[in-house]
Amino acid sequence: MSTETKINDVDIAAVAGLAGKIQEEPAVAETTWKARVEWQEGFKSQALIRNFAPSQSDEPPSLGGSDAGPNPVEQLLGALGNCLAVGYAANATAAGITIDDLSIDLEGDLNLHTFLGLNPEGNAGYERLRVNVNIDSDATVEQLAELHEKVVGTSPVGHTLSRAVPVDIKLT
């Protein structure tokens, strides 16, 4: 039985083990993640990821849905927030910082003209995202600022959203 104390309930040894393996074998870092989405009816669909229960998606009634789940643009905000939360937990643990409470508020501005076909030349996606991180810790202001910079600088979802990423959508 391990007597090692976990900070923030993170198994940092597992993360360090993966980092060490990647240093020895750089090809291990090249990963592919997958999801399958199945349409159900109306605007309802479900995402199937690994062996987890399906994640439901739908639109609110104002957009013609039945509100059976969050819509895709809300899920995108959730994905960014969840990715940042992982980053804070991992990096705080590595730095010996205990997190007493962490919440991340996200919002984005989306103009529905293009989505609804009213302006085909416009942008159907978010114009801007705003994220506020609320962290309660006994760490110093300087330690939290350093932690924040590290998390923002290493977030896979944050990096994906903040740069142009080629998307190849094929009809088969």
CATH number assigned to the domain comprising residue 84: 3.30.300.20
Mean pLDDT by 10 residues, the chain (172 residues): 70 91 95 97 98 98 96 98 98 96 97 92 95 97 98 98 95 96
Confidence (pLDDT) at 6: 80
47 plus 94 within the same structural domain: no
Return the closest-CA partner of residue 124 out of 68, 56, 58, 71: 71
Domain with 61, as residue range(s), is 33-70
Confidence (pLDDT) at 150: 98
Confidence (pLDDT) at 58: 98
Residue carrying structure tokens 């501005």: 109
Give the span between the Cα atoms of 94 and 167, in whole angstroms: 34
137: which strand partners?
A: 99
The count of domains in the chain is: 2
pTM: 0.92
Contacts of 113 (CB under 8 A, 6+ apart): 119, 122
Confidence (pLDDT) at 120: 87
Confidence (pLDDT) at 1: 39
Confidence (pLDDT) at 33: 96
Confidence (pLDDT) at 5: 60
